Chain A
Amino acid sequence: MRKEIPLFIMLVCGVFMAVQFFVPHELPALIYQNLNKTVQVVGAVALVLGIVSLLSLHFAKISKRQPGYGYSYILVVFFFMMAASGFLPAKVNLGPFLGTGDRVEGSFFLNLYNYVLTPVQATMFALLAFFIASAAFRAFRARSVIATLLLLTAVVVMLGRVPIGPFVLGDWISDLADWIMAVPNAAAKRAIIVGVGLGILSLSLKMVLGIERAWLGGGR
């Protein structure tokens, strides 16, 4: 029954969700909304499991003094600090440097968000610029006809999508870049979207019918 019950639930819910799209009546819409709410609740419970896993992993690293356990200390401290900042009563005042307990400008919560989270996330995202440069240097080599085409297309689009391209070479580079984005790029993407859509339909059908069972744990 360990596998039969989940398979049955998958079959019933899968068929219902597919049919519900075509049925405008309020009853299936009500069931659909309640199923969505159920997913929300399950997600909230699963988040607790995830947090327990995360903290137990890092507590174990700290207690066993495994390599890199200093970073685990930082993670645990900031985890609880950020969580606590969201629960602080509005009346609490932690001083001019840390901020107040509510969630408005100048609060501890927003100070952590604006002065810790925001710069850190922006820094991580900024790394992409450097990674793109190194990936482009490595990958854009004219090894074959197709690779040369890729290289030339990349150069045209890179020049055409910034002001310096039209400024130095003329408006044609910008028009060509727009054409590449609007025609071959869109055509290829549409084709891939069709393939992906059919792939999703096929995979979903296999899961609903119980043909694909790897998600259950361990396959057949």
Chain B
Amino acid sequence: MKEFFQKLLKIDRRWIFLITGIAIIIPFFFFIGLPIRATREVRALYDAVEALKPGDIVFYAPEYDPATIPEVQPMAHTFLRQVFRKNIKVVASGLFQLGVAQAEQDLTLIAREMGKKYGEDYVFLGYKPYPETVILNMGEDFRKSFPTDYYGTKLDELPLMRGLKNYSDTKMIVSMTAVSGADYWIRSAHGRYNIPLALGVTAVMATDYYTYYQSGQLFALMGGLKGAAEYEQMVGIKGEAAKATLRMDIQSFAHLAIIILVILGNVAYFATREKK
């Protein structure tokens, strides 16, 4: 028994990878659908969007790259579906150079699905370097940083942008981000222009941004896959489109596997320690 525990302590980490891999793969084939309880910070975004009227405009800032698609894309898609369903207009920027193509694809995909027309229902401004300067400039006038949109059309030629000057003409800013640009939105957009701001971030980042939610600098915060799953349930996304909900089972099993490994490691540690 002692040798077994000693071997367990020195186990090749590839066995740990294999166990983790199996724990992640199995739920792919058996969808359980564990219930997900909505938290206050996610409900705040849902309620805020539901309170908007058709024709209201929101500013949407997707900033995630292919690496963080699994966590952030579901919340981005759900947000776009909710706003387009209510006929709310969207002005979007993509201030992360590695994610601007992804942002454009996602926006176009959901807009097409919801039957929305570019220029009238949504506009994509695209990317400009030095995001903090761009965010500050957009608080004065979108045209300062973006004289044209992502496709090269002058902003004033787009029906949605006529009469739309800066953040104060929108109802809120919602940023789905996996980069440190979230700090710029808090500091420069909300801090300088006092626009209601909500963030959707990866689970790891959410631990940092709770402090901003508590202080009121964010009116809503979605963290990781769980936040996305809660939001999907509230908006009523079902089936294949509810990617975060489908993946929560996988996350549950992965966490369980890690906890079991940790417990085994501790049992082995104490067993060999006592023997010493």
Direct A–B contact in complex, judged by CB atoms less than 8 Å apart: yes
Could you list which residues of chain A lie within 8 angstroms of chain B, going by C-beta atoms?
33, 36, 39-40, 43, 103, 105, 110, 113, 117-119, 121-122, 124-125, 129-130, 132-134, 136-138, 140-143, 151, 154-155, 158-159, 161-167, 171, 174, 178, 181-182, 185-186, 189-190, 193
Instruction: Tell me the nearest residue of chain A to B129, going by C-beta.
Output: A40
**Would A163 and B35 count as touching, CB distance under 8 A?**
yes
Choose from B39, B207, B214, B251 the contact partner of A162 (Cβ within 8 Å): B251
Known A-B contacts A133-B16, A155-B259; A121 and B226 likewise in contact (beta carbons under 8 Å): no
Bits for B197-215, please: 1 = Cβ < 8 Å to A, else 0.
0000001001110110010
Cα-based distance from A161 to B207 in the complex (angstroms): 12
**Would A186 and B211 count as touching, CB distance under 8 A?**
yes
Expressed in whole angstroms, the minimum distance between the Cβ of A106 and any Cβ of chain B is 12
**Would B266 and A151 count as touching, CB distance under 8 A?**
yes
Expressed in whole angstroms, the minimum distance between the Cβ of A207 and any Cβ of chain B is 21
Choose from A110, A158, A165 the contact partner of B258 (Cβ within 8 Å): A158
The interface residues of chain B lying within 8 Å CB-to-CB of A133 are 16-17, 19-20, 257-258, 261
Known A-B contacts A121-B67, A155-B262; A129 and B254 likewise in contact (beta carbons under 8 Å): yes
**Would A140 and B101 count as touching, CB distance under 8 A?**
no
**Would B211 and A36 count as touching, CB distance under 8 A?**
no
Give the A-B pair count, Cβ closer than 8 A.
Answer: 121
The interface residues of chain B lying within 8 Å CB-to-CB of A134 are 13, 16-17
**Would A163 and B34 count as touching, CB distance under 8 A?**
yes
Choose from A40, A151, A164 the contact partner of B262 (Cβ within 8 Å): A151
Expressed in whole angstroms, the minimum distance between the Cβ of B150 and any Cβ of chain A is 10
Cα-based distance from A161 to B256 in the complex (angstroms): 11
**B180: Cβ under 8 A from any A Cβ:** no
Cα-based distance from A129 to B254 in the complex (angstroms): 8
**Would A162 and B211 count as touching, CB distance under 8 A?**
no
Expressed in whole angstroms, the minimum distance between the Cβ of B20 and any Cβ of chain A is 4
Q: Number of contact residues on B: which range applies?
A: 35 or more
Chosen A-B contacts, 12 in total, with CB atoms closer than 8 Å, are A36-B133, A117-B66, A130-B20, A134-B17, A137-B264, A159-B255, A161-B255, A163-B36, A163-B37, A181-B207, A186-B211, A190-B211
The interface residues of chain B lying within 8 Å CB-to-CB of A33 are 133
Cα-based distance from A174 to B40 in the complex (angstroms): 13
**Would B69 and A118 count as touching, CB distance under 8 A?**
yes
Instruction: Tell me the nearest residue of chain B to A158, going by C-beta.
Output: B255
The interface residues of chain A lying within 8 Å CB-to-CB of B67 are 121-122, 124-125
The interface residues of chain B lying within 8 Å CB-to-CB of A110 are 101, 105
Instruction: Tell me the nearest residue of chain A to B13, going by C-beta.
Output: A134
**Would B210 and A105 count as touching, CB distance under 8 A?**
no
Expressed in whole angstroms, the minimum distance between the Cβ of A205 and any Cβ of chain B is 21
The interface residues of chain B lying within 8 Å CB-to-CB of A190 are 211
**B176: Cβ under 8 A from any A Cβ:** no
**B148: Cβ under 8 A from any A Cβ:** no
Expressed in whole angstroms, the minimum distance between the Cβ of B53 and any Cβ of chain A is 32
**Would B266 and A141 count as touching, CB distance under 8 A?**
yes
Choose from B16, B37, B207, B211 the contact partner of A171 (Cβ within 8 Å): B37
Instruction: Tell me the nearest residue of chain B to A142, going by C-beta.
Output: B266
Cα-based distance from A151 to B259 in the complex (angstroms): 10
Cα-based distance from A113 to B124 in the complex (angstroms): 19
**Would A137 and B265 count as touching, CB distance under 8 A?**
yes
**Would B226 and A185 count as touching, CB distance under 8 A?**
no
Using a CB-CB cutoff of 8 Å, which residues 221-276 of chain B contact chain A?
A: 226, 248-249, 251-259, 261-262, 264-266, 269-270
Known A-B contacts A36-B130, A118-B66; A129 and B34 likewise in contact (beta carbons under 8 Å): no
The interface residues of chain B lying within 8 Å CB-to-CB of A130 are 16-17, 20-21
Expressed in whole angstroms, the minimum distance between the Cβ of A45 and any Cβ of chain B is 14
The interface residues of chain A lying within 8 Å CB-to-CB of B270 are 142
Expressed in whole angstroms, the minimum distance between the Cβ of B33 and any Cβ of chain A is 9
Cα-based distance from A117 to B101 in the complex (angstroms): 12
The interface residues of chain A lying within 8 Å CB-to-CB of B130 are 36, 39-40
**Would A182 and B254 count as touching, CB distance under 8 A?**
no
Cα-based distance from A151 to B264 in the complex (angstroms): 13
